[in-house]
Structure 1
Amino acid sequence: MRTILITGSSGQIGSELVAALRARYGEEHVIATDIKPGGESLSAGPFELLDVNNRQAFHDIAQKYNVDTIIHLAALLSATAEANPLFAWELNMGGLLNALEVARELKCQFFTPSSIGVFGPDSPKEGTPQVTVQRPVTMYGINKLAGELLCDYYFRKFGVDTRGLRFPGLISHLTPPGGGTTDYAVAMYFEAVRCGEYCSYINKGTFMDMMYMPDAIAAIIQLMEADSAKLVNRNAYNVSAMSFDPELLAAEIRKLLPGFKLTYQIDPVREQIAQSWPNSLDTSAAEREWGFKPRFTLETMTQDMLVQIAARTIEPPGGHPMNGIMKVS
């Protein structure tokens, strides 16, 4: 990677990936794009407005900066896609096809994330294998599965160096929840600091794979820098760091915030989506082929999340719930 164009740069992954890549390759070598104006975090380097469904504009921007790598993140997430499935197909699949075409035309390396959403009720729930039955029951999952196959096709048919990761739920202290089923975990951390309680839309006993954002960013960079010849499952690596349900997460939060209260008001749509996904993934292919190894556990992620959120949260009347433990690292 020398000059990188990133779509969906204002999103949960994009905002942190742009910063990480600019620190690694230089500000002028990472072109951030989004359909809406970039925020302060994107202003340190080049930024362009881009609707990924406009293929010509996509091509023109990539050519303008002479990019050799495209990281395509623009997409609707699971719950948002389920609420508007037609638009989800148009954006998630139309945008991906345009991105792949630009990569083919300009001979770019290519990355787009997949998701645990590609699995369905017929997939093994525990230790879900790298290669197994995939019958997703959501529009988001169908989009992601079709995207894996489309990237495989562009690699075999046109020689595009396509790569991808099947991300679990991603947890970040920098960006708020954005319409994903696993976003309850992010919301729980924020509400624990802000008011000491949270009402979960995912039920107790519903386990899903998760990963802390620093590990996700590191995995993208590591995969993109890996030797292409060693990549067998190049467009769909299972990656994960931990699996938990709301009760386990709440118990970990209570180690630092003993008064934290967890209640439930189940969202049937998101609960049904969560029930169709794996409880835990087999990540051995990623470990074997390019050395994937996450750093954060549930315990260390929780410590960092609470401290980071507290550092940016205005202290409420009566004192901050994190007072006295701000030095946790």
Structure 2
Amino acid sequence: MRKILVTGALGQIGSELVGKLRKTYGKDNVIGADIREVEGIRDAGPFEIADVTNGDRLMEVAKEHKVDTIMHLAALLSAKAEVVPKIAWDINMGGLVNALEVAHELNLQFFTPSSIGAFGPSTPKDNTPQDTLQRPNTMYGVNKVAGELLADYYHHRFGVDTRGVRFPGLISYVTPPGGGTTDYAVEIYYEAIKNKAYSSYIGKGTYMDMMYMPDALNAIVDLMEADPAKLKHRNAFNISAISAAPEDFEKAIKKHIPEFELTYNVDPVRQNIADSWPNSIDSSAAKSEWGFKAEYDIDKMTKDMLEKIREK
């Protein structure tokens, strides 16, 4: 039975991943950790306050709970990272190397996500290959490329069982947007229900890869359970389910809310980030090496998002 430490447990991915892991591996076998706590969090299962930039504290928590796996999710996202790049470096890179050191010393399996932000304006835009040129022009992208290389290094140099995916924009009804460039694809559903209108900060015709959170969570578990002998890439697998622009979400929403109206008020910072990312990526390596498969397309996701938000 696994014993898993999840950093960034209160973030967009962590808040849902912890619940899924507890259903799969048992409530007491998944330890959530974050820099803060919220009321009632400890009622759901083990939880520790831990700043990932404090390596000693991470080591202390891992030893105390005798974990065999770290899923390191703590990070500052793309749009926020551009506002405070030095802080982003300290959290995203300092936290990652601390977590990798814990995995190395205690011989733990390790997961951390990369992102389509690891690509840049010189990367092929359409059907972006698994192995391709990566020259991002954002601090978040630089962090992610360095993180991919660092995870590879710890595997090749120290034998750490590191694994990871390049997430596209993640869409969820559970946790509010956290400062990512693709957050419009979450906000649009809330505004469609509340106001039947949305003003997008990303311009028309801007295609980016997206994925519904249930598919993202399944991908993490499937990769961590995969036969290591079949993993040629091991870290930073391209995965995606949907390539969409704002007007594609508009079309999908109008099937359920015909009066919905989409307008545009483009944010230059986030638009520049979006323009540097691929239109679509090739997930064939993940499919062939560990059986990645997405269940939700934009229409199935839209139906579920609108239903769940209305329930909330």
TM value normalised by structure 2: 0.99
Contact 2:41/2:47 (8 A) holds in 1: no
Which residue is equivalent to 1:321? Answer: none
Structure 2 unaligned runs (5+)? none
- Measure the CA separation in 2 of the matches of 1:21 and 1:12: 15
Once the 2 structures are TM-superposed, how far is the Cα of residue 43 of structure 1 from its aligned partner?
Answer: 3.2
Distance 1:29 1:237, change over 3 A: same
- Measure the CA separation in 1 of the matches of 2:169 and 2:42: 24
Once the 2 structures are TM-superposed, how far is the Cα of residue 35 of structure 1 from its aligned partner?
Answer: 0.2
- Measure the CA separation in 2 of the matches of 1:175 and 1:42: 18
Which residue is equivalent to 1:184? Answer: 184
Contact 1:18/1:42 (8 A) holds in 2: no
Which residue is equivalent to 1:236? Answer: 236
Which residue is equivalent to 1:227? Answer: 227
Which residue is equivalent to 1:141? Answer: 141
Which residue is equivalent to 1:327? Answer: none
Which residue is equivalent to 1:317? Answer: none
- Measure the CA separation in 1 of the matches of 2:257 and 2:205: 22
Once the 2 structures are TM-superposed, how far is the Cα of residue 208 of structure 1 from its aligned partner?
Answer: 0.2
Which residue is equivalent to 1:264? Answer: 264
Residue 214 of structure 1 aligns to which amino acid in structure 2? P
Aligned length: 312
Once the 2 structures are TM-superposed, how far is the Cα of residue 154 of structure 1 from its aligned partner?
Answer: 0.1
Q: Bigger shift: 32-41 or 93-102? A: 32-41
- Measure the CA separation in 2 of the matches of 1:38 and 1:213: 22
Aligned residue runs from structure 1 range 247-326, under 5 A: 247-312=247-312
- Deviation string, structure 1 residues 118-163 (Cα, Å, up to 9, x no partner): 1001111000000000000100000000000000000000000000
Residue 53 of structure 1 aligns to which amino acid in structure 2? T
- Measure the CA separation in 2 of the matches of 1:3 and 1:106: 13
Contact 1:116/1:168 (8 A) holds in 2: yes
Once the 2 structures are TM-superposed, how far is the Cα of residue 41 of structure 1 from its aligned partner?
Answer: 5.7
- Measure the CA separation in 1 of the matches of 2:220 and 2:245: 26
Which residue is equivalent to 2:49? Answer: 49
Residue aligned with 2:71, SS: strand
Following TM superposition, the consecutive aligned residue runs of length 4 or more in structure 1 with deviations greater than 2 angstroms are: 38-43
Residue 105 of structure 1 aligns to which amino acid in structure 2? E
Q: Bigger shift: 167-176 or 35-44? A: 35-44
Distance 1:34 1:274, change over 3 A: same
Which residue is equivalent to 2:94? Answer: 94
Residue 88 of structure 2 aligns to which amino acid in structure 1? A
- Measure the CA separation in 1 of the matches of 2:248 and 2:29: 41
Residue aligned with 1:279, SS: coil
Does 2:216 match 1:216? yes
Q: Percent identity of the aligned residues?
A: 62
Residue 142 of structure 1 aligns to which amino acid in structure 2? V
Which residue is equivalent to 1:31? Answer: 31
Distance 1:214 1:41, change over 3 A: farther
Residue aligned with 2:166, SS: strand
- Measure the CA separation in 1 of the matches of 2:264 and 2:65: 49
Which residue is equivalent to 1:156? Answer: 156
Residue 141 of structure 1 aligns to which amino acid in structure 2? G
Once the 2 structures are TM-superposed, how far is the Cα of residue 39 of structure 1 from its aligned partner?
Answer: 4.8
Structure 1 unaligned runs (5+)? 313-329
Once the 2 structures are TM-superposed, how far is the Cα of residue 42 of structure 1 from its aligned partner?
Answer: 5.9
- Measure the CA separation in 1 of the matches of 2:150 and 2:248: 37
Contact 2:177/2:183 (8 A) holds in 1: yes
Does 2:218 match 1:198? no
- Measure the CA separation in 2 of the matches of 1:37 and 1:57: 16
Distance 1:244 1:3, change over 3 A: same
- RMSD over equivalenced CA pairs, Å: 0.8
